[in-house]
Chains A and B, each alone.
Chain A
Amino acid sequence: MRYETVIGLEVHVELSTKSKAFCSCKNEFGSEVNTNCCPVCLGYPGALPVLNKKVVEYAVKAGLALNCDISLYSKTDRKNYFYPDLPKAYQISQDDMPICKNGFIEIEVDEEIKKIGITRIHIEEDAGKLLHGAGDEDYSLVDFNRAGVPLIEIVSEPDIRSPEEARLYLEKLKSILEYLEISDCKMQEGSLRCDANISLRPIDEEKFGVKSEIKNMNSMKSLERALEFEVKRQTEILLQGEEVAPETRRWDDAKSITIAMRAKDKTYDYRNFPEADLVPIVLEPEWIKEIKTNLPELPDFKRNRFVKQYGIPKYDASVLTLSKDLSVFFERCAKDYKNPKAVSNWVMGEVLRILKEREQEISNIKFPPEYLRELIDLIDEGLLNSSAAKLVFEEMFDTGKEPKTLLDKLGLKQISDEDAIGELVNEVLANNQESVEAYKNGKSNALKYLVGQAMKISKGKANPKMINSMLLERLED
């Protein structure tokens, strides 16, 4: 029996507003515990919520960018349950009238465009943070700084068919949200959180199988790995003729397995009902239009523009535009430059490599993109060979200094002086008679060796092209 994987993702995104969703406390990650709290977000008796306008604007932006219908009328509801991180014992959310509906995201799977449906986007508030000790303490601690931070929840249709597609969907979603500048989208810090519903069904079967809900996936990689694990786990269960339990499971990154969480009643009755302390949100079509007109260029559009404008391959354009910051970096380098592909190679090669190696973000890079452009200029001018350029680049990355300055400082300036090259060539020819003979006997490989020797003596600084041509000249004499 072969099975098809069915995945739907629920993504919670913390909006990067200045203040919280329903009160004026600071919306900030990493503040000292319980310092961004007030009677409203602590659920003190008598305190009342007032909706932050920016939250609505951001949610509508997300909806428009994700091709949703924007609801002209929506309202907030209370979702009632007790938990120590939920101060009012209800979460203000949107139940039956979300602010956005019926959207989609396009992802590219095996060179084909695939649409993943978005069921809805709704506004809600985040809960506080529970801190558990590592030891055997008999308590947990609550920090309410996050309580009341605005969230949008983006719910996909069960259109995703593989763990890879799930990752591509989430990468694209993150990319779009970053372009909109409505969230930090940092999975590690929890400003982008993803839960997955995953089930299997026999191929050609229409009915969905029993799904499990997977939580605690803190990176793109762990999302894909957790789902791969889950596909394997569920396949094994089904092949043994058993049934998958409808449960919530937690991804353990270190152990690379999913673990069933303490049995949570899936049928919990949240008693959703209208939030009478707030009033409905009624949007003006004109206002929505205005937001739509002012949306920034989004990744798909930018990718196509890069291909057209810079003549770089579609693959390059996709990689460069997935991150907004990277695309901006590339464009500042490549603007009005004769060989954008060279820039693309540098950005996709050295830049991404070093960022990964040093675990840094492109947004924190020390040098301005124009410096990379200068570096490439130096190569073009023959002042730097590519291996020396890489050394300069690393230094530039670490110090943020101009490449020309570094070139002098490192003494890496390429030797292109004819006399100096001539002396080098003479030295190499004199000390490598065997290779000279070999070349003359038709072994053209010997030339490469000789060039290499010259480079070695010059500590990589000699212009290899000049050495090559001068050696040839002498050998052919």
Chain B
Amino acid sequence: MDKGYIEYICSLAKLEYDEENSDRIIEKIKAFDVYAEKLADIDTNDIKPLVNVNETINVMREDAVMPSLERNIILENAPEKLYGCIKVSKIIE
């Protein structure tokens, strides 16, 4: 756990890495890990994961088309737009 690691997770989360603040974040993550460590007490090898407490299955809809949004509404919310599209910084592939 070092500043390089903080820079790494910042890049994954697309958040600015702030060198000055990184020590504080390291402390937070360390504390969080101590917290998480507690769970190691419990043997979960035979326990299945539980994502949805209701464990419902097969919620699906029929393949039917419903009206979409008006394009001008989509564009009104977009900070930058052009030719009916949403504009972003040039992407180089």
| A contact set with B: CB distance below 8 Å | 17-19, 24-26, 32-39, 42, 50-56, 80, 82, 84, 130-132, 137-144, 250, 261-262, 269, 271, 274, 276, 278-282
Q: Select one of B57, B83, B88, B93 contacting A279, CB under 8 A.
A: B57
Q: Select one of A17, A38, A56, A141 contacting B82, CB under 8 A.
A: A141
Tell whether, in the assembled complex, residue B86 and residue A34 are in contact, meaning their CB atoms are under 8 Å apart: yes
Q: Name B62's closest neighbour in chain A (CB-CB).
A: A53
Set of chain A residues within 8 Å of B59, measured between Cβ atoms: 50-51, 278-279
Set of chain A residues within 8 Å of B14, measured between Cβ atoms: 82
Tell whether, in the assembled complex, residue B85 and residue A131 are in contact, meaning their CB atoms are under 8 Å apart: yes
Q: Name A270's closest neighbour in chain B (CB-CB).
A: B12
Residue contacts A-B, CB under 8 angstroms, 9 given? A19-B65, A25-B66, A34-B71, A53-B61, A54-B62, A84-B88, A141-B85, A261-B93, A281-B58
| B contact set with A: CB distance below 8 Å | 12, 14, 49, 51-52, 56-66, 68-69, 71, 74-75, 82-93
Q: Name A25's closest neighbour in chain B (CB-CB).
A: B68
Set of chain B residues within 8 Å of A25, measured between Cβ atoms: 65-66, 68
Tell whether, in the assembled complex, residue B69 and residue A39 are in contact, meaning their CB atoms are under 8 Å apart: yes
| A29–B36 CA distance with the chains assembled, in angstroms | 47
Set of chain A residues within 8 Å of B71, measured between Cβ atoms: 32-35, 37
| A305–B23 CA distance with the chains assembled, in angstroms | 72
Set of chain B residues within 8 Å of A131, measured between Cβ atoms: 85
| A18–B65 CA distance with the chains assembled, in angstroms | 6
Tell whether, in the assembled complex, residue B87 and residue A139 are in contact, meaning their CB atoms are under 8 Å apart: yes
Set of chain B residues within 8 Å of A141, measured between Cβ atoms: 82-83, 85-88
* Given A34-B75, A274-B51, A276-B51: A51 touches B60 (CB 8 Å cut-off): yes
> Which of A26, A38, A139: most chain B CB closer than 10 A?
A139
Set of chain A residues within 8 Å of B63, measured between Cβ atoms: 17-19, 52-55
* Given A140-B90, A250-B93: A56 touches B60 (CB 8 Å cut-off): yes
* Given A25-B65, A269-B12: A281 touches B75 (CB 8 Å cut-off): no
Set of chain B residues within 8 Å of A52, measured between Cβ atoms: 60-63
Q: How many A-B residue pairs have CB under 8 A?
A: 118
Q: Name A15's closest neighbour in chain B (CB-CB).
A: B63
Q: Select one of A37, A50, A55, A140 contacting B89, CB under 8 A.
A: A140
| A39–B49 CA distance with the chains assembled, in angstroms | 30
| A273–B59 CA distance with the chains assembled, in angstroms | 19
Tell whether, in the assembled complex, residue A38 and residue B91 are in contact, meaning their CB atoms are under 8 Å apart: no
Set of chain B residues within 8 Å of A143, measured between Cβ atoms: 84-85
Q: Name A51's closest neighbour in chain B (CB-CB).
A: B60
| A236–B90 CA distance with the chains assembled, in angstroms | 35
| A289–B68 CA distance with the chains assembled, in angstroms | 36
Tell whether, in the assembled complex, residue A280 and residue B91 are in contact, meaning their CB atoms are under 8 Å apart: no
> Which of A137, A141, A261: most chain B CB closer than 10 A?
A141
Closest beta carbon of chain B to A272's beta carbon, Å: 13
* Given A34-B74, A42-B74, A143-B85: A51 touches B61 (CB 8 Å cut-off): yes
| A50–B59 CA distance with the chains assembled, in angstroms | 7
Closest beta carbon of chain B to A273's beta carbon, Å: 9
Tell whether, in the assembled complex, residue A26 and residue B60 are in contact, meaning their CB atoms are under 8 Å apart: no
> Which of B14, B88, B92: most chain A CB closer than 10 A?
B88
| A82–B86 CA distance with the chains assembled, in angstroms | 16
Set of chain B residues within 8 Å of A53, measured between Cβ atoms: 60-63
* Given A24-B64, A39-B69: A280 touches B92 (CB 8 Å cut-off): no
| A80–B57 CA distance with the chains assembled, in angstroms | 24
Tell whether, in the assembled complex, residue A138 and residue B90 are in contact, meaning their CB atoms are under 8 Å apart: yes
Closest beta carbon of chain B to A16's beta carbon, Å: 10
Set of chain A residues within 8 Å of B62, measured between Cβ atoms: 52-54
Tell whether, in the assembled complex, residue B57 and residue A34 are in contact, meaning their CB atoms are under 8 Å apart: no
| A281–B12 CA distance with the chains assembled, in angstroms | 30
